[in-house]
Amino acid sequence: MAHEAGPGPALPEGFLMGASTSAHQIEGNNVSSDWWTLENRPGGFVAEPSGDAADSFHRWPQDMDLLRELGFDAYRFSIEWARIEPRRGMISRAALEHYRAMVRGALERGLTPVVTLHHFTSPQWFSDLGGWAAPEAPDLFADYARTAAEILREGVRYVATINEPNIMALMYALKAHAVEHGWDSVAPGSRAAREGGAAAVDPAALEPDSAVVQALVRAHRAATVVLKAEVPHLRVGWTVANQVYQAEPGAEEATAAYAWLREDVFLEAAREDDWIGVQAYTRHRMDVDGALPPPAGAETTLTGWEVYPQALGEAVRHTARVVGPHVPLIVTENGIATEDDEQRIAYTAAALTSLGEAMNDGVDVRGYLHWSALDNYEWGTYRPTFGLIAVDRTTFVRTPKESARWLGALSRARRLPAPPAPGSAAVLSGR
C-alpha cells in the first residue's frame, strides 16, 4: 500500500479520530423537513431527491459497528429537528428515544458522540415562518435545544448548535436574490449556496444579510445558555465552514472585508465557546472583485473544488488566530469527493500532515472527524462521493473502502501519517 499507517507523529492523548455525517444526508425519508419539501416539489430545481438516503435511520447500529471495527473512536452525527418537532410545539417522544438510543449506542461501542443540533435542514413549519429571518427564530431554536437536552443528557460531551451558519447565511442571501429574480428557491446547503452562487450569480454581488447573520449568532448564544444550564459538563460550540481565503497581491483589504460576514464574524462569535468545529476542503483565491476560479490546470474534485489538502492546516491556523488561544478546535469535516479512493487517501494524508504541522506550531486541535463516514446525499445529488464507506443505493449494503481501513489503522495506531518523502510524487503534485 502506498501509505502506511506509521510511523508518523503520535496523536495527543484523548485526540478524537472518527468520521462525520448529517441526518438528512443519510437517514432517508426526512418528510417533515424543508429540504424534503423542496426535493419533492414538481418541477423543482433539485436534480435528485434524497428518498431513502442510506437508510441510516434504521441502520445506524451497523454504521456505528463498522466505524468501531475500522478502529475509530468518535462519530459526529446530527439529530433532526423536523423529526423531533414535526409540528410547532408537538414533540415526538419516539424521535427523542430514537436519538437517545443512538447516543447510548455510540457510547456502548466506545465511540465519542459529537452531536449537531442543526445541519442545514429545518422543520417545514420553521421555514414557513421565515426560518432564520423570522424574528422569533433564536427563541424557537433555544426551545428546540431545551428539548434536545433530553438526548444530550444521555452522556454527550460535545455538542454543536448549528452546522456552518456562514453557509446558511449565504443561502438566505441567495434565496432573497432568487425571489427578487423570480427563480425557483435556492435550498440550504445546495451547491449554489456553498459555492456562493449559481453560475448565473456573481458571488461578489451577494452579501449575507447582516440581520440573518445576527439571528444565527443570537440563536447559537441562546441555545448555548440553555444547554449549559440543562446539561452540566456539556461542551458547546458550533462548526464553521473555513473557506481558506487567499488574497492575491493587492487584494488583502478587499479579501478581509469579503471574509468578515462570510466567515470571521462566526469565528469571533465563538470566542467564549467551549470548542469550535473547523470544516475545510479547499481554498478560495481572491482578487479585488471576489473569488477566482481554481488555477488553470489545477486538479479538481467531483464537486469542482480545487484539490488543495493543505487547506486544513491553513484553516485551523486561521481559526485559532480569530477565536484566540483558549478555545480548542476539533476538525469536524474534511474530505474529498472522488471515485478514486487512492486519491482520497493521498488527499487525507496531506491534509493530516498539514494539520500535524499546525499542531506542532501550537494550534490546540482535539480531534479529526472525516467527511464523510458514508457515501451520502450531497444536497441535490448522490453523484459526489465523499464516503469512507460505500453504500449500495438499492440494497443499502455498506462496503468500507481502502481509505476507511487506512484512516482506521491510523486511529488505532494513534498516529498521523508519515509526511511524504521530499521529492515524492505526492509532494510534487501538492497532494
Q: Which residues bind to ligand BGC, rule: CB under 6 A?
A: 22, 25, 163-164, 167, 189, 194, 241, 279, 333, 371, 378, 386
Nearest-approach distance from CB 277 to ligand BGC, in angstroms: 10
Backbone angles phi, psi at 134, to 5 degrees: -75, 140
> If you count them, how many residues does the chain have?
431
Residue 5 or 159 with smaller CB distance to ligand BGC = 159
| Nearest distance, CB of residue 331 and ligand BGC, angstroms | 12
CB 240, min distance to ligand BGC, A: 10
Distance CA 86, CA 405 (A): 38
Helix, strand or coil for residue 231? coil
Q: How far is the CB of 194 from ligand BGC (least distance, A)?
A: 6
Half-sphere exposure of 213 (CA within 13 A, CB side): 18
- Which one, 212 or 226, has the nearer CB to ligand BGC? 212
Amino acid letter, residue 275: W
Angle between helical axes of 93-108 and 56-70 (0-180°, round to 10):
10
Of 282, 346, 268, 345, the residue nearest 313 (C-alpha): 282
Pick the closer one to ligand BGC by CB: 25 or 124.
Answer: 25
> Which residue number, 251 or 278, has a Cβ lying nearer to ligand BGC?
278
CA dihedral sign, ordered 182, 187, 191, 194: positive
Nearest CA-CA partner of 78 in 46, 56, 94, 49: 56
Q: How far is the CB of 271 from ligand BGC (least distance, A)?
A: 22
Nearer to ligand BGC, 33 or 163 (CB): 163
Show the cell assigned to 334. 474534511
C-alpha cell at 329: 478546535
CB of 24 to ligand BGC, least distance (A): 8
Query: In this structure, are residues 267 and 322 in contact, taking their beta carbons and an 8 Å threshold?
Result: yes
Give all strands (DSSP E) within 56-128, no chain letters: 74-78, 112-118
| Cβ 345 to ligand BGC shortest distance, Å | 18
- Distance in angstroms (rounded) separating the CA atoms of residues 430 and 314: 14
Q: How many CB atoms lie within 10 A of CB 380?
A: 22
CB 90 → ligand BGC: shortest distance, Å? 27
Give the shortest CB-304-to-ligand BGC separation in angstroms.
11
Within 13 Å, how many C-alpha atoms sit on residue 301's CB side?
A: 22
Q: Indicate the SS3 state at residue 221.
A: helix
C-beta of 114 vs 241, nearer to ligand BGC: 241
Shortest Å, Cβ 333 to ligand BGC: 5
Which cell is 305 given?
473544488
Q: Which is nearer to ligand BGC, 353 or 372 (CB)?
A: 372
Q: Which is nearer to ligand BGC, 25 or 50 (CB)?
A: 25
Q: Are 382 and 375 in contact (CB under 8 A)?
A: yes
Q: In the block, which residue shows the cell 488527499? A: 347
Minimum gap (Å) between residue 164 Cβ and ligand BGC: 5
Comparison of 240 and 327: residue with beta carbon closer to ligand BGC = 240
Q: Which of 152, 166, 336 is nearest to 264 (CA)?
A: 166
Q: Is the peptide bond before 56 cis (omega within 30 degrees of 0)?
A: no
